A and B are shown apart, each in its own frame.
Chain A
Amino acid sequence: MAAPSPAPVAQPSTPHAVSPGSRLRTLALRYRIGDRTGLPTTAAGAELAVVIAFVSLRIGTLLEILPAAPHGLRQASGGGLDAALMGVALVESAAMCVLAVRRRRYPVGWWGCVDVVVAMAVLLCEPWYLRSEDWVGTWTAWGGALSVNAVFGAAIGFPARWQTVLATCGVSVAYAVPSLVLADAHASTAASNLVGYVVFAVSARSSATFVRRLGRDADHARREAALAAGQAERDRHRLLLHDHATILRLLSEPGLEPGLVEALRRQAAAGAVRVRNFLDQPDGVSPDGPEDLAALVRRAGEAFSDLPIDYAVDLAAGVVIAPAVAVPLREALATVLHNVRTHAAAGQVVVHADAPPGLDCWEVSVRDDGRGFDQASRPLGFGLRVQVSRELAEIGVESEIRSVPGAGTVVLLRGRLDHG
């Protein structure tokens, strides 16, 4: 027996592996980037991604501040004030991170305001105790980095746009005032940094908004898919039970002719097999399970409602397609219809599915009356050659493509019936 593999743990030697708390570590392990599971693609997952961005950026900023802190404390005229501000910023940042991780969203309300106010206070105080050469462009003046971080938090976390604008303006003013008041300020560099606040706020807010919208849309799509699947399952049940209800009703009637009774018995026996097969399917119709050929063909065409498609697939109802065949078949049909859409300019498309009696196979044909092409002079494109012919051949499905210039194209797919 193979030895058990070690449980994944955070590596302390990794430069960026920071562990501010057990909850964050748990989240980090659970949603590692590159992990097969990753963050869930839901609205909650999107919010969590925003939180991770905020927390990691804040922790990273504090880690960048720390190496320069001793030098700053030595050089500053008001070392005590610098240390006090740094302490407040550390405690407040730690609280923000912990709250964000616990709530799995940016802590809005008073906490968000406090974050912005602390950053503003640091910006306003620093010029009065730092040397002018340290004030702009050094990590000794750590307020700049912290304020960018606060603007980022306000951009991704504040619910209303005007709140983000207000926070960004507040921080910008706090940064700009010393430049205007102090004679030896680096005014031009400070002006450039001011632009940075606006750019940071706009890009962070638009990115976070988009990520959240993706999450909401994904949730909505899942709900729609679940409803559609439920409806399809109910329709499938109705189709299955309808015939058998009629057989049972007829059998229950007294005085039936012997010939009719015999016919009904045969149908009842066949119906029992159908019900048995239905019950043996553990999860009903699902993208990963066996599929009814008629339903599969219709599903493959759902995305092509712009095409004038006439379906004749009732003869394939009840033909079960194994999962290994169903997925490539559906993709191949989609490829064929995509080709029709792109190249055929068809006035009519007929999609036909059948399991001809006496033959141990099913057939699907897609025929259009479009412009067609000369097969002798024009080789098949990648879609028909690889995605249809080659992929289907690998799973034992024959394909045949016939086309005549001006007379349309027909694609025939034929596979063996699955009796399993």
Chain B
Amino acid sequence: MDDLDRRIRVAVVDDDTVIREGLPHLLPDLHVTAAVSSVEELLAAPPEADVILLDLVLTGTGRTGVRQGAAAVEAVARAGFRTLIYTNERRREVLVGCVAAGAHGVVHKAEPLATLASAVAEVAAGRVVITQALVGLAELAERRGGLASLTPRQREILSARARGETFRSIAERLFISKKTAEEHMAVVTAKFADFLRDHSPADLEWELGLGPGDLLDRRPMS
């Protein structure tokens, strides 16, 4: 098997030409198998891909009638792909809606490329990647009893991550390895993603004790 085959296969869905054309050059360790501007194009000829890198807004060029937001995530997930949201969107109600619709991770476009590469690897490995805003929401879910199966150590690490503490700092403080801390957090994010998928919007707001409309009453772009 050559080097090319060992690389993670990524399909990019983004209406931004620079992203579509630029990512293969910026992240040479990834094998970009397709770069299309809509979910419809992707599903018309499904590529070989371990991860779909999906932008949330796909009407930037003025197109209408294409799926985007949670509807796009849902369509890609239904086709059996693992989806990593690659977006500038920071509203947690939108991000929660996309994870609930089947996304396996969220990375902001403002993050360094190394973070994107790492997130792609995590999602390809079957794990879930969430942003800091969603980590805070995970802590809220845990405190309100929504993540009852977490171990005390996992709760401890979730609490630290919600406060922005780095894995290195957590590891030093708890006398564990950085890798162990990351693995604990991976379990937490997976359970949180399941929690989001298993609850209706109204249930989520009730479980998390949030006001109506704080999360999902305003459906994400579709």
| Cβ A314 vs Cβ B137 within 8 A | yes
| Cβ B133 vs Cβ A310 within 8 A | yes
| Cβ A239 vs Cβ B137 within 8 A | no
| Cβ A246 vs Cβ B206 within 8 A | yes
Please report the number of residue pairs spanning A and B whose Cβ atoms sit closer than 8 angstroms: 70
Given A315-B139, A317-B209, A310:B132 Cβ within 8 A: yes
Contacting residues of chain B (45-69) with chain A, CB-CB under 8 angstroms: none
Interface size on B, residues (CB 8 A): 27
Q: Is A365 an interface residue (CB 8 A)?
A: yes
Given A238-B212, A242-B205, A367:B139 Cβ within 8 A: no
| Cβ A311 vs Cβ B143 within 8 A | no
State the CA gap A165–B169 with chains docked (Å). 70
Choose from A246, A308, A312 the contact partner of B163 (Cβ within 8 Å).
A312
Choose from B132, B137, B140 the contact partner of A348 (Cβ within 8 Å).
B132
Given A238-B212, A246-B206, A357-B143, A367:B165 Cβ within 8 A: yes
| Cβ A350 vs Cβ B163 within 8 A | yes
| Cβ B163 vs Cβ A367 within 8 A | yes
| Cβ B164 vs Cβ A367 within 8 A | yes
Given A239-B211, A352-B162, A367-B163, A311:B136 Cβ within 8 A: yes
Contacting residues of chain B (100-133) with chain A, CB-CB under 8 angstroms: 110, 112, 131-133
Q: Is A217 an interface residue (CB 8 A)?
A: no
State the CA gap A367–B165 with chains docked (Å). 8
State the CA gap A180–B197 with chains docked (Å). 93
| Cβ B110 vs Cβ A352 within 8 A | no
| Cβ A350 vs Cβ B211 within 8 A | no
Which A residues touch B132, using CB under 8 A?
Answer: 310, 312, 348, 350
Q: Is B73 an interface residue (CB 8 A)?
A: no
Q: Is A407 an interface residue (CB 8 A)?
A: yes
Q: From A367, which residue of chain B is reached at the shortest CB distance?
A: B164
Q: Is B135 an interface residue (CB 8 A)?
A: yes
Q: Is A243 an interface residue (CB 8 A)?
A: yes
Q: Is A235 an interface residue (CB 8 A)?
A: yes
Which A residues touch B135, using CB under 8 A?
Answer: 312
State the CA gap A243–B144 with chains docked (Å). 13
A-side interface residues toward B, CB under 8 Å? 235, 238-239, 242-243, 246, 308, 310-315, 317, 347-350, 352, 357, 365, 367-369, 407-408, 410
Q: A312-B133, A312-B163, A367-B163 are in contact. List 4 more A-B contacts (CB 8 A).
A: A238-B212, A349-B164, A365-B163, A369-B166
